[in-house]
Amino acid sequence: MSYANSRIPESAQLGVHENLAEKVRRHLSEPFRKPVAHYNRIAFEHSLAGWDGRAPLILDAGCGVGHSTIELARSFPDHWVIGVDQSAERLERRKPYPPALIPANLVFVRADLVDFWRLLLESGLRLARHYILYPNPWPKIGHLGRRWHAHPVFPFIAGLGGALDCRSNWRVYVEEFALALAVVIDRPVEWEIFDAASPLTPFERKYRDSGQTLYRIRCELDLERGPAGGVGSESSEGANARTEALAQTEPMPHAHRETGEHDEL
């Protein structure tokens, strides 16, 4: 049976990358100036077109075929759920859900998350819940900068607040994500092993059924702290000022391949 034989990412890297903390601190101290693509602005506007402006927001970042987005919308019917993926082909593969069975409180958009996250922060919106489920782990040692927690956009992710849930079947990824997030919010971040009794995504079900260990970070982010530094004793006014400064940085070219649930390696 080929279904439950998924492989754990293979890597020569066995622990947290030695350059990660330094890289995150550099991203905190330097403005991120990537220009926002026009199609991402259109996608962002579309993602909020059906929102009533009051329902709490949930972002399913890198939603893949959208199964997790649909399950989240069913679990939180009073929230507005946004599923974002850069692949139109993945978004179109929402089987076995015909349109009539898709909840009314969700929207799918094709967009680059690097831009989408920044547009959310720039607009002054904050998330109630934020899911980053089984992102591409980029397990090669030299690919550190391609992992979300080592990317220049990472402080924006933390700045969006809410309950952040990141999952992976590679222990190193969640260890690094926890360390990077702790650097940004200036407080310890724990990770855990968990049992996916009700898998949110097809990959989560496949990994579980393959007997793999699953790892997760669940962190309540402090909305009073700006994404460009830690919580500390900073006033909310100071944090808000830094949030605005981060959101208003001028653009500069940068490229990043974004995925939802990672490709089989």
Q: Considering only 85-99, 205-219, 236-250, which range has the smallest mean pLDDT?
A: 236-250
- Please check whether residue 8 lies inside any domain of the structure: no
**Does 125 score more than 70 pLDDT?**
yes
- Please check whether residue 169 lies inside any domain of the structure: yes
**Does 106 score more than 70 pLDDT?**
yes
Instruction: pLDDT band for 144, please (50, 70, 90 cuts).
Output: confident
Concatenated DSSP letters of 104-167: TTEEEEE--HHHHHHHHHHTT---SEEEEESB----SGGGGGGSGGGSTTHHHHHHT-EEEEEE
- Domain of residue 225: give its range: 20-247
Instruction: pLDDT band for 145, please (50, 70, 90 cuts).
Output: confident
- Please check whether residue 204 lies inside any domain of the structure: yes
- Please check whether residue 48 lies inside any domain of the structure: yes
**Does 35 score more than 80 pLDDT?**
yes
CA distances from 122 to 130, 196, 247 (A): 17, 34, 5
Number of domains, the chain: 1
Which candidate, 217, 234, 131, places its Cα nearest to that of 172? 217
pLDDT at 198: 93
Residue scoring higher pLDDT (244 or 230): 244
What value, to the nearest 5°, has the Cα angle with vertex 169 and ends 7 and 130?
140
What CATH number has the domain bearing residue 125?
Answer: 3.40.50.150
**Does 177 score more than 80 pLDDT?**
yes
- Please check whether residue 187 lies inside any domain of the structure: yes
- Please check whether residue 241 lies inside any domain of the structure: yes
Residue scoring higher pLDDT (73 or 91): 73
**Does 178 score more than 90 pLDDT?**
yes
pTM for the model stands at 0.82
- Please check whether residue 165 lies inside any domain of the structure: yes
Q: Could you tell me which residues are beta bridge partners of residue 57?
A: 80
**Does 153 score more than 90 pLDDT?**
yes
**Does 104 score more than 90 pLDDT?**
yes
**Does 229 score more than 60 pLDDT?**
no
Q: Considering only 24-28, 40-44, 193-197, 253-257, which range has the smallest mean pLDDT?
A: 253-257
pLDDT at 89: 87
pLDDT at 13: 65
**Does 80 score more than 60 pLDDT?**
yes
User: pLDDT tens across 189-204, in order?
Assistant: 999 999 999 999 999 9
Residue scoring higher pLDDT (78 or 251): 78
CA of residue 145 relative to chain centroid, distance: 15
Q: Considering only 186-195, 218-227, 228-237, which range has the smallest mean pLDDT?
A: 228-237
- Please check whether residue 261 lies inside any domain of the structure: no
pLDDT at 235: 34
